[in-house]
Amino acid sequence: MTNGDLRIRLEGALGSGVVDTAPLPVGFGLTGLSARLQDGRHVAVKAKDNARSGPSLALEGYMLGELSRTSDLPVPQVHAAEPDLLVMDFIETDGGTITANVERDAARLIAALHATPRDGFGYARDTLIGPLHQPNPQSQCWIPFFRDERLLYMARAAKDEGRLPAALYGRIETLASKLEDFLTEPPFPSLLHGDLWTGNVLVCGNRIAGFVDPAIYCGHPEIELAFTTMFGTFGDAFFEAYEGMSPLEPGFHELRRDLYNLYPTLVHVRLFGGSYLGRVETTLTKLGL
């Protein structure tokens, strides 16, 4: 889609002329723009050339809409969500880093998201993590859901794509058969943002300006908290504040955090290849497998 075609699509979808645009970094081969409209709106745009190739941008819009509809998590309002076009509010940031004060603000927001009981694990429809399919059949038990729809699903896909060696897949199967030895059921399902790495956390001053690029489903809060440590998004200040509102059971930081991070690590194995296999190997060894 050329910039001229995209401009015409935007004006038709939003009912306002485009005054100015600037490139906006987005991943996975998408076109990104910051656009200012004649009616004063400032929007962020994602677009792709072929509506039939790859995941639908309408699904990302759906996930943002669900977070907005069912929680108080700050996410951008969606103005248009089509298979090849997503338009949402542009979230103003100041380029600041995630400080201890920002971590505490994030903890307050994420703890509130997790504190509301949901009806079951999974979701009303399948979602995405990055560009990858994320199955969400609804379940009343967390451990079988995590085993089948997260750990084994992503490991099997990585093996079938030639990204995960058969020997490592076999060790993951062994872990899957023993998950009850390591994990516990939460008191209730919680709605999760699902992809809380640093690039999806937008900051302004000493607060969170917004969260973007979700991978929503209902699950155990611990898998979300684990993901925040995978690339060092949040640290001690976040966990001290979060646990002041919602204490964690013993053993999360020592063991369950690494086990839960097998899921996003397998996502990265599929997306980026063998450089992440060492993390899989290290975790399985730590678990005695």
What are the residue numbers of the active site?
A: 195
Cα 102–chain centre separation: 19
Q: Is 16 in contact with 39 (CB distance < 8 Å)?
A: yes
**Residue whose structure tokens are 């103003």:** 92
* DSSP-derived secondary structure for 20-62: EEEE---STT-EEEEEEETTS-EEEEEE-S-TTSSS-HHHHHH
Return d(Cα 284, Cα 289) in angstroms, integer.
5
Return d(Cα 70, Cα 4) in angstroms, integer.
36
Residues 6+ apart with CB under 8 A from 197: 227, 228, 230, 231, 233
Q: Is 75 in contact with 64 (CB distance < 8 Å)?
A: yes
Taking the CA atoms of 218, 221, 225 and 230 in sequence, report the sign of the dihedral they define: negative
- DSSP strand pairing (217-219 vs 190-192): antiparallel
Three-state DSSP at 89 gives strand
| CB burial of residue 191 (10 Å; 0-12, 13-18, 19+) | buried
Residue 122, φ and ψ in degrees, nearest 5: 95, -150
Rg of the chain in Å (alpha carbons): 20
